[in-house]
Structure 1
């Protein structure tokens, strides 16, 4: 247990200082740091400067680093001989459209009472300013109580996460020696759906592609040409339909190379979560799990690769009816990847599969939309068990190792470029409405999130 005088004094300081911590967060949230909108370029820099000033005030060597896009904020604690931890978060936010669906101005944040407790309402409250500030408030309390931090820290706060992080990988390569640490802490995640604290230990990768098939040089009358001329929509859907078999497995040659089965430890942790696939689907008006046969629901969304058709277009789709054979058909597809699957090899195999279905007098072109491998963390590192115990102590229930069906490329970037694993610990909730109107962050998540990081700092020192 971490219930000792050294940590208890820090936790008491966090509790007493919560009103002031909330004032700081609300000030941060008032900065409209929308990275995708050029009109807010100055606001993004203002947010970076605000963060830099906060960190400098806590004794960090902090600076705002220019990139070809929005700046990075980098800070260091005084160097010692201890295992350094790198903390990563992002200070940019999503656009607020549609504005008319907000109950209050998105950059005029406020603490609200709701039937489920107090929440912090405003754009960026959960994604990711509120989460990022749980780091900083934990550091602040440690410094106030003990005069120094319990271990060496490197902080990297990004201003382009919501716009694709175009500057991040070059920045990591150029500054690898300065940023490299023992392990990275990433706060851009959430708790398990039942409110259990969690450490995300694996993330699926992503490969996306747009396909365009062209046939005749114009749309054709289906009475005159139907049955004789190529129909690019039919060609496309036939090719896509054969990528999965009746059991839900993907048929591309070599596709499952690198896919790994769950370890016994993770399987036990996931079984204990009591995930109900039918109940999960009922939240979106569905009831029947559709996927790879012989796999549990959590395996399918966290540990198995997928192929999905994200969009199809072609021909006449307006009002009324028009009997044509279209000249062109398009599809957007994506693969979620696990283990050590190679997205570039899968791209080659997928494109070969589509090309094999194209008649000689038709053409196909491809437009790539990103390719990042999956990330799996080495939980045999003692830091993971220590952090898990710290979370369990704070939330008074057993923390869990979980997976994530989505992708957080920064974890893979840290592994590839800096050679270190990441520990993904966040306190977001399923109903936080990130990227949507009326975004919120539970006051409990903010307060106990800061307390959790204080405990984790103690556990890893």
Structure 2
């Protein structure tokens, strides 16, 4: 592929950074209704940026929530089409006092740009737009067809995205979905994520007597909901850290020998992690290391528990209620609804006498996993190597991005998670930033990826 796009990116770097500052200055916080007008303004800004880059059919499409921005360019000499997904909404900025510079007044210092959304995900969406622009301005064409789908509700769980994809399958049809919203391994070491854990969450409510009771008069004669809840929660794991829910592991896809070796080859420093977190031991399912436990094994965690007297001092009360919130991270091929069924059955089986228990199902999302030797991932590896002069690591992520599995299932296409952020860039936290080294190399990687993708035989 002609390398003139690199010269274009170098010559226009200052102009591009100025545009990025403008993009980042709009407070498109989806969680706060006060920023509804900013959401609209951001979508309109994207329309202008996509049109200026040379994309066509650019439009804002309404949903029951925030709008989705669509654009495409469909004139490639081959029939390979890539769908690029990203989001333009950002997290709230609290606590504001911890920001060194205002979160919506982008500041460049020490080779990084600081602003809310710099790495998650405005900066990475912007890179895709400018990569397309660079190729169209210098070569007049793209190696592949491209479509953009940029939403404004990712930070609040993308409630309207799956219905949108379901309704617009023909418009979004593609051969591969590309998402840049995941981190690299570390500075200079790119990574391609081929697996994400799923999620399901529940609340457990335990009810005893019809009101709080004096522990002297009733203690020892009436069931204590806090004791009952503790007994239920303690039953969730065995002494080796394994989830003790019957059937919990039945559909877990085991790690292959090759994957386990690849994880070991990353030489993850568990001692450094313990020091960083201030713990003397790591914990988890016996027989697996930290990366395996957090990337490729399912979990059940207690996220919160409460009941009874919480104030200063002591109040000798036997509470009438106790509550806990739990969540599971799931791996292929676990189904969130099935896991919730198993948990509910387990809880009722282990509820002691004298109390009543109820469960409320909350968030859920399916796990996602791609074959790491898939041609679209191998093409991405070659593109990273050209930009970074380093072979990217093949990783999984412990977190969940439910829309990835939704896209893959509804459109029946492979997904490539090729992010350019770094783990320490404070996404969702004060002083979020994005390393400009990865801004520069990332756009080169994207341009090279379109060239590599065009060579894949369909």
Indicate whether the TM-score tops 0.5: yes
Query: Match of 1:185?
Result: 178
The 1:317/1:374 distance shift into structure 2, 3 A limit, reads same
2:63 equivalent among 67, 70, 82: 67
List aligned pairs for 1:397-416, cutoff 5 A: 397-416=390-409
2:94 equivalent among 94, 97, 109: 97
Query: Match of 1:41?
Result: 36
Query: Match of 1:439?
Result: 432
Deviations for 1:374-408, whole angstroms, at most 9, x for unmatched residues? 10012332121121121122111211110100001
Query: Match of 1:85?
Result: 82
Aligned length: 452
Q: How large is the Cα RMSD of the aligned pairs?
A: 1.4
Query: Match of 2:112?
Result: 119
Query: Match of 2:203?
Result: 210
Which structure 1 residue ranges, 5 or more long, are not aligned?
Answer: 1-5
What is the TM-score with the length of structure 2 in the denominator? Answer: 0.96
Judge conservation of contact 2:162–2:407 (CA < 8 Å) in 1.
Answer: no
Deviation at 1:12, TM superposition (A): 2.4
The 1:237/1:359 distance shift into structure 2, 3 A limit, reads closer
Query: Match of 2:19?
Result: 24
Which structure 2 residue ranges, 5 or more long, are not aligned?
Answer: none
1:387 equivalent among 380, 384, 393: 380
Judge conservation of contact 2:246–2:346 (CA < 8 Å) in 1.
Answer: no
SS of aligned partner of 1:246: coil
Deviation at 1:195, TM superposition (A): 4.0
SS of aligned partner of 2:35: helix
List aligned pairs for 1:259-408, cutoff 5 A: 259-359=252-352, 361-408=354-401
Judge conservation of contact 1:414–1:421 (CA < 8 Å) in 2.
Answer: no
Deviation at 1:347, TM superposition (A): 0.4
Judge conservation of contact 1:378–1:421 (CA < 8 Å) in 2.
Answer: no
SS of aligned partner of 2:147: strand
Deviations for 1:146-191, whole angstroms, at most 9, x for unmatched residues? 1011100111001001111111111011001111211100111110
Query: Match of 2:107?
Result: 110
Judge conservation of contact 1:195–1:429 (CA < 8 Å) in 2.
Answer: no
Deviation at 1:199, TM superposition (A): 0.4
Deviation at 1:281, TM superposition (A): 2.8
Deviates more, 1:71-80 or 1:318-327: 71-80
Judge conservation of contact 1:150–1:458 (CA < 8 Å) in 2.
Answer: yes
SS of aligned partner of 2:361: strand
Judge conservation of contact 2:205–2:324 (CA < 8 Å) in 1.
Answer: yes
Deviations for 1:230-287, whole angstroms, at most 9, x for unmatched residues? 1111111111111111121111111112212223443333222101223223211113
Deviant stretches of 4+, over 4 Å = none
